Amino acid sequence: MIQIAPSMLAADFLNLQKDVDIVNSHADLFHLDIMDGVFVPNISYGFPVVEAIAGAAHKPLDVHLMIVNPEKYIDRFARIGVSMLSFHLNATDKPAQALLHIRETGMKAGLVINPDMPVETLFPYLQLCDHIILMSVFAGFGGQRFIEETYDRIRTLKAEIDRQGLTVEIEVDGGVSPANVE
Task: Return the active site residues.
Answer: 33, 173
* Listed ranges 40-48, 56-64, 87-95, 157-165: which one lies at the site for Zn ion (CB under 5 A): 56-64
Site stretch for Zn ion (CB under 5 A), options 46-54, 58-66, 73-81, 164-172: 58-66
Q: Are 31 and 64 in contact (CB under 8 A)?
A: yes
| Single residue of 29, 33, 111, 157 touching Zn ion by CB under 5 A | 33
Which bin fits 118, alpha (ψ -120 to 50), beta or left (φ > 0)? Answer: beta
Contact assessment for residue 176 and residue 145, using Cβ atoms and an 8 Å cutoff: no
Does position 88 interact with Zn ion (CB under 5 A)? The reply is no
3-state secondary structure of 80: helix
State which residue, 59 or 64, has the beta carbon closest to Zn ion. Answer: 64
Strand partners, 113: 134
What distance in Å separates the CA atoms of residue 53 and residue 48, rounded to the nearest whole number? 9
Does residue 36 interact with Zn ion by CB under 5 A? no
Compare residues 47 and 163 and give the one whose CB is closer to Zn ion.
Answer: 47
* Residue 64 makes contact with Zn ion by CB under 5 A: yes
Task: Say how far apart CA 102 and CA 110 lie, in whole Å.
Answer: 9
Contacting residues toward Zn ion, per CB under 5 A: 33, 64, 173
